[in-house]
Amino acid sequence: GENVEQHPSTLSVQEGDSAVIKCTYSDSASNYFPWYKQELGKGPQLIIDIRSNVGEKKDQRIAVTLNKTAKHFSLHITETQPEDSAVYFCAASSLYNQGGKLIFGQGTELSVKP
Amino acid sequence: DGGITQSPKYLFRKEGQNVTLSCEQNLNHDAMYWYRQDPGQGLRLIYYSQIVNDFQKGDIAEGYSVSREKKESFPLTVTSAQKNPTAFYLCASSIGAGGYGYTFGSGTRLTVV
pLDDT band at A92, cuts 50/70/90?
very high
C-alpha span between B46 and A48 (Å, rounded): 25
Closest chain A C-alpha to B82 CA, distance in angstroms: 22
Instruction: Check B99 against A100: CB less than 8 A apart.
Output: yes
Given a cut of 90, is residue B6 above it in pLDDT? Answer: yes
Output the pLDDT for position A100.
66
Out of B96, B103, B106, whose CB is closest to A42?
B106
Which residue, among B5, B1, B19, B29, has the nearest Cα to B87 in the 3D structure? B19
Can you say how many angstroms the Cα of residue B104 is from the centroid of all Cα atoms in its chain? 10
Higher-confidence position of A1 and B3: B3
Instruction: Give B20-62 pLDDT, tens digit per residue.
Output: 999 999 999 999 999 999 987 789 999 999 999 999 999 999 9
Residues of A within 8 A of B56 (CB-CB) are 98-99
Output the pLDDT for position B52.
94
Residues of B within 8 A of A32 (CB-CB) are 98-100
Q: Is A101 on the interface with B (CB under 8 A)?
A: yes
**Residue B107, helix vs strand vs coil:** coil
Instruction: Give A33-85 pLDDT, tens digit per residue.
Output: 999 999 998 999 999 999 888 899 999 999 999 999 999 999 999 999 999 99
C-alpha span between B93 and A100 (Å, rounded): 10
Q: Is B5 on the interface with A (CB under 8 A)?
A: no
pLDDT band at B100, cuts 50/70/90?
confident
Instruction: Check B56 against A99: CB less than 8 A apart.
Output: yes
Tell me whether residue A92 is exposed, middle or buried, using C-beta atoms within 10 angstroms of its C-beta: 0 to 12, 13 to 18, 19 or more: buried
Pick among B100, B106, B109, B110 to test the A interface (most A CBs inside 10 A): B100
C-alpha span between B12 and A30 (Å, rounded): 39
Which residue, among B36, B29, B22, has the nearest Cα to B51 in the 3D structure? B29
